[in-house]
Structure 1
Amino acid sequence: MAEESLISKVQNLSDLELAALICLVTQEHCIIDTEPDILDDLVQELELVATKVFGLSHAVIDCSEQTSLDDFAHAILSVESSPTRLNSPIRTRQDSYFLSKPTFTSNTRSPVSETFTENRTIANVIIAKNLDEAPKQVQIQALELMRTKRIFTRTSVQNAPKRFLFIALLAGGEGPRLTMHLNDYMFISHFHDPEDGFPHLEEVYDDGKSISSIVKKNPLRDSADVLWPRISATEIEHLAQLSKHATVSVEVKQYQQNIISFLRIHRAVAGGISAIATKHFDKLVRCLAPLHDLSYATPSLIALAARKIYLHRIRIVKPEKERSMQWGSDLEAIKTLLDGLGAEDVIEDVLGSTGAEAPL
């Protein structure tokens, strides 16, 4: 089991910090959703989380329909590498930016000039704002980066650091919004309610400082929080080892499988539930155990994991495609049944009294 001091740290994390920690422990990536009018504040909060809580470099990509493959690559490679303290995971960073005139365009890979890539490396945390608005080829490039942990330049291959987190930051909506394979590759999704606030931003403003001065300064020179992050690389690795050894009893495993089965046959779900989602489900369950100071999974952890794994994956079926239409159901009745039904409703239905029965 984890040390008491580490568990205390975990219990004091905010929702965004905990989502990032889970992804760093499992070496996976996530979607964070929020209301459109607070998206910029959320970007700044995540920047501060990366720096102050985990001591990691970061880059921000502001995506749109005009974002090119060159834009994506240049933003990824916008962190300057420099000598660091012995055994320190910290690297300095600069704000992400786009070149106004891309030097080269490719439909498959994003070559970056040799001059640009010199003395540069990929950031530990990449925040892709409005990734769902980016062209399909940019989203495919993001998927390739996450799967292979590298990006091709004109003269070399840039590898992602060992601790690497890609956050797709979206605004408003429910269900899949990214390209199919990219959406399915994302480990978890989390909705940040504006009422949950922005603890790090609020701390900055309480100190009477401008947020621009906070996120632009060199963290190695100006921030002790970066040199001594709240959650260290050693602690993340310790949690990763504990999660690998977490046990799942036969009864709890059966409950987990029943949830998957109920989701697959739910009349409102289109396209079923993918195999990678099942793999991620099991991985998250084992990760949550040590975070709750347990060496085993419980039914409540299974339910919690299901809400995070499937929220962004479930597609609601179109009324005319609902399976009972094959046997003569009334289309208007089906439309009424599905009206306003979302992925969250489906999950709660499966976890409720009419769904999979939790073991005692």
Structure 2
Amino acid sequence: MADESLIGKIHELGDLELAALICLVAKEHCIIDTEPDAIDELVDELELVAEKVFGLPHALIDCSEHTTLDDFAQAIFTVDGSPSRSNSPVRTRQDSYFLNASTFHSINRSPVAESFTDNKTIANVIIAKNLDEAPKQVQIQALELMRTKRIYTRTSIQPAPKRFLFIALLAGGEGPRLTKHLNNHMFISHFHDPEDGFPNLEEKFDDGNSTSSVVKRSPGLEYNPLLWPRISATEVEQISQLMDQATVSVEVKSYQQHIISFLRVHRAVAGGISATATQHFDKLAKCLAPLHNLSYATPSLIALAARKIYPHRIHIVKPERERSMQWGSDLNAVATLLEGVGPEDVIEDVLGTSGAETPL
């Protein structure tokens, strides 16, 4: 079990910080969703989470239907040895981070221009804003980067860092929105309600407007969040080891399998309950245990894991393809039944009294 000081720090984390921590511990990647009007503030918040909480350099990719493979490849790099946001050429909120270079195709694995990658490395945290709007080939390139943890240059292979997190930042929707295989590769999804606030962004604003909050240090001892993060690499590795040691009893494992079965046969589900999702379900349940200072997974942790694993995967069936139509159901009645039903509704139905029975 983790020491009390680490557990205390974990309990102080916000929802976005916990989502990032879970992915770093599990060595996986995630989808963060929010309202369209709040997406720019969420970008700023996630950048501060990467920098202040985990001490990791980040890169931002602002995707659109015009984003090219070369744009994507160039934007994921950060200046090696330069933690400053303002000095990074990939800082792209108002100034363009796209550089004109020859287009390459992922299928041929053509290299990125070497002149751009000199003295640069792939950022530890990549925030892909509106990734669902990017062309299919760009999303495929993102999937290749996550799966292989490398990208090709003209003279070398640029590896991703050991601590590597890719965040697909989406807005205004539910269910699958990325390409099939990329969507299935994403570990968890989380919706951040703007009403929950942006604590790191608000703290930065307050610090910038309050002279009393300025901490004076001796020369050479200035605070650097990349050197003194709130959650260190050692602590992330400690939680990762505890995750590997976490156990799941036969009864709890059976409950997990029943949830999967109920999801697959639910009349509103057309697909998305894949084998990869099941593997992620297993991993997340064990990952949540040490975060709650437990050495084993409980039924409540299994239910919590289901709520994070499946919302971005579940496809809601079209009324005309709902299985009871094979036996003569009325199309209008089925359409009325399915109206307004989303992935979260399906999950709550399965976790409720009409779904899998919770072990005592």
TM-score range, shorter chain: over 0.9
Where do residues 48-127 of structure 1 align in structure 2 (5 Å cutoff)? 48-77=48-77, 79-82=78-81, 94-96=88-90, 97-106=96-105, 108=107, 109=109, 111-127=111-127
**2:213 alignment partner in structure 1:** none
Residue 321 of structure 1, CA deviation:
0.4
Q: Which residue identity does 2:142 align to in structure 1? A: A
The runs of at least 4 aligned residues of structure 1 exceeding 3 Å deviation read 90-93, 97-100, 220-223
Deviation at 1:225, TM superposition (A): 2.4
Residue 80 of structure 1 deviates from its aligned partner by 1.2
- For the aligned residue pairs, the C-alpha RMSD in angstroms reads 1.8
Q: Displacement of 1:95 after TM fit?
A: 4.5
Alpha carbons 2:33, 2:170 under 8 Å: kept = yes
Give 1:177's aligned residue.
177
Give, as a single letter, the amino acid of the residue that structure 1 aligns with 2:100: K
Say if 2:285 and 2:297, in contact at 8 Å, map to a contact too: yes
* Residue 336, structure 1, aligned to residue 336, structure 2: yes
Correspondences of 1:303-342 after superposition (within 5 Å): 303-342=303-342
Identity of aligned residues (%): 74
Over 3 Å counting, the alpha-carbon distance change for 1:95 and 1:194 in structure 2 is farther
Deviation at 1:112, TM superposition (A): 1.9
Q: Which range is displaced more, 270-279 or 327-336?
A: 270-279
Between stretches 173-182 and 270-279, larger displacement belongs to 270-279
CA distance in 2, matches of 1:103, 1:222: 41
State the one-letter code of the partner of 1:71: D
- CA drift at 1:106: 2.5
Query: Which residue in 2 is equivalent to 1:140?
Result: 140
Tell me, yes or no, if the aligned pair for 2:29 and 2:165 is still in contact at 8 Å.
yes
> For the Cα contact (< 8 Å) 1:73–1:111, is it kept in 2?
no
CA distance in 2, matches of 1:185, 1:110: 24
Q: Could you give the per-residue CA deviations for residues 177-206 of structure 1, whole angstroms, max 9, x where no partner exists?
A: 000000000000000001110011101111
> What is the match of residue 267 of structure 2?
267
1:233 and 1:222 map into 2 onto residues whose CA distance is: 20
Per the TM alignment, residue 272 of structure 1 is displaced from its structure 2 partner at its CA by 5.0
Partner Cα distance (1:107, 1:256) in 2: 38
Of 147-156 and 55-64, the range deviating more from structure 2: 147-156
Residues 95-141 of structure 1, C-alpha deviation per residue, up to 9 Å, x if partnerless? 51533533233353363222111111000000000000000000000
2:45 partner amino acid:
E
Task: Look up the match of 1:355.
Answer: 355
Task: Flag structure 2 segments of 5+ consecutive residues without an equivalent.
Answer: 91-95, 211-219
Letter in 2 for 1:136: K
- The number of equivalent residue pairs is 344
Question: Unaligned regions of 5+ residues in structure 1, if any?
Answer: 84-89, 211-219
Secondary structure (helix, strand or coil) at the match of 2:208 reads: coil
Partner of 1:217: none
Structure-2 change in CA distance of 1:208 and 1:272 (3 Å): closer
TM-score scaled to structure 1, two decimals? Answer: 0.92
**Alpha-carbon displacement from aligned partner over 1:51-109 (angstroms, at most 9, x marks no partner):** 000000000000000000000000012x11128xxxxxx79861515335332333533
Distance verdict in 2 for CA 1:46–1:22, change over 3 Å:
same
Partners of 1:221 and 1:278 in 2: CA distance: 47
Closer, same or farther: CA 335–58 of 1 in aligned 2, 3 Å: same
User: Does residue 27 in structure 1 map to residue 21 in structure 2?
Assistant: no
- For the residue of structure 1 that corresponds to 2:151, the secondary structure is strand
Q: 1:221 to 1:327 in 2, by over 3 A?
A: farther
Shift of 1:238: 0.4
Is residue 59–residue 95 contact of structure 1 (8 Å, CA) maintained in 2? no
Could you tell me how far apart the structure 2 residues matched to 1:317 and 1:23 are?
Answer: 30
Report the alpha carbon displacement of residue 222 of structure 1 after superposing the two structures with TM.
Answer: 6.2
TM-score by length of 2: 0.92
In structure 2, the partner of 1:293 is 293
- CA distance 1:143–1:222, change in 2 (3 Å): farther
